[in-house]
Amino acid sequence: MTLQEFGYASRELWRASGRIDDTALVGPFRMLTEEGLDCLAEVCDRLEPAAGDSGFIATRRLRSADLMSPFINNMIRDRSFLLACSRLVGVPLIPHPLRIPTAQINYFESQSRPEIVRWHRDGMDYVFTVQLSGFDEYEGGRFLYFQGRTGEFEDVQEGDARIMEAPCGERGASLFLHGSRIFHAVTPVTKGRRVTLVISLFCPYFAGRDSNTFWHLAGDDGVLATLPCWVRLKWPVRDVAMDFSMRAASPVITWEDLR
């Protein structure tokens, strides 16, 4: 789906050098082979003891998962992986230079007190979610999104026809979401366990309009941890593709690579 189908005007979607940034939602698609999926699920299971309380959407979460797992690090910095993601969205994408939120594992578990559905939009623009559990392993945990502009969300009532469920119940199903421009939520898990890996990518050519704000990030990670990340994002560049790839420790992906 395109952002124009969410009510955004084409003039809002034109970016640097006459490119349009219009992809809203893609999926479900497969990112990994069965074997790759089994490896990733095992990695995420093994990392669970290191996860902390999320205090918001998931029960627990682990940020900077790529710094703890060579598997995840190599996966999200693999050139063919990045090319596939870039072609899917239509813009060159590399791991986000903020580093801390780049790869996050979310663990949702049923809780004794019923949680409310937490609607939000992300600081991140290009967000890929890989489902590591299928519908047969849990109840609840539905991925909902609002098919409208973010500014229209405030007036939305329960049961609004623009609230949709993303079809990503199968283990291994992956979804792309333009996270900063689409309100979304995961309903509480009422039984079982649901694990997802969320990968945030970044377009070096549109760095000037990155939707993250310092205080949103600092609220999550603290001022001291956010400062070096912020410098990597905001420090002036000479060659956007090259400089941001170095800051994200990523292969270079250019417009030419998308052809």
Distance in angstroms (rounded) separating the CA atoms of residues 142 and 148: 19
Q: How far is the CB of 122 from Fe ion (least distance, A)?
A: 4
> Closer to Fe ion at the Cβ: 143 or 205?
143
> Closer to Fe ion at the Cβ: 122 or 125?
122
> Closer to Fe ion at the Cβ: 98 or 241?
98
**If you compute the radius of gyration of the chain from its CA atoms, what whole number of angstroms results?**
18
* Piece in contact with Fe ion (CB under 5 A), picked from 22-30, 115-123, 137-145, 236-244: 115-123
Q: How far is the CB of 199 from Fe ion (least distance, A)?
A: 12
Distance set, CA 127 to CA 26, 116, 136 (Å): 11, 23, 25
In contact, 67 and 182? CB cutoff 8 Å: no
Asked if 22 interacts with Fe ion (CB under 5 A), we say: no
* Piece in contact with Fe ion (CB under 5 A), picked from 110-118, 119-127, 128-136, 250-258: 119-127
In contact, 168 and 27? CB cutoff 8 Å: yes
> Closer to Fe ion at the Cβ: 133 or 200?
200
In contact, 95 and 76? CB cutoff 8 Å: yes
Ranges within 63-92 binding Fe ion (CB under 5 A): none
> Closer to Fe ion at the Cβ: 122 or 243?
122
Distance set, CA 165 to CA 75, 127, 171 (Å): 28, 17, 16
Q: How far is the CB of 252 from Fe ion (least distance, A)?
A: 28
In contact, 63 and 179? CB cutoff 8 Å: no
> Cis omega (within 30 of 0) on the bond before 28?
yes
* Piece in contact with Fe ion (CB under 5 A), picked from 118-126, 138-146, 229-237, 243-251: 118-126
Distance in angstroms (rounded) separating the CA atoms of residues 219 and 226: 9
> Closer to Fe ion at the Cβ: 58 or 203?
58
> Closer to Fe ion at the Cβ: 199 or 241?
199
Output the six-digit token pair for 214. Answer: 């310092």
Asked if 125 interacts with Fe ion (CB under 5 A), we say: no
* Piece in contact with Fe ion (CB under 5 A), picked from 20-28, 120-128, 145-153, 216-224: 120-128
Asked if 122 interacts with Fe ion (CB under 5 A), we say: yes
Could you tell me if residue 2 is left (phi over 0), alpha (psi between -120 and 50 degrees) or otherwise beta?
beta
* Piece in contact with Fe ion (CB under 5 A), picked from 44-52, 122-130, 162-170, 251-259: 122-130
Question: Which uninterrupted H or E stretch holds 203?
Answer: none
Q: 1: Cβ–Cβ under 8 A, 6 or more apart, which residues? A: 24, 25, 26, 147
Q: How far is the CB of 53 from Fe ion (least distance, A)?
A: 17
Q: Which residues bind Fe ion (CB under 5 A)?
A: 122
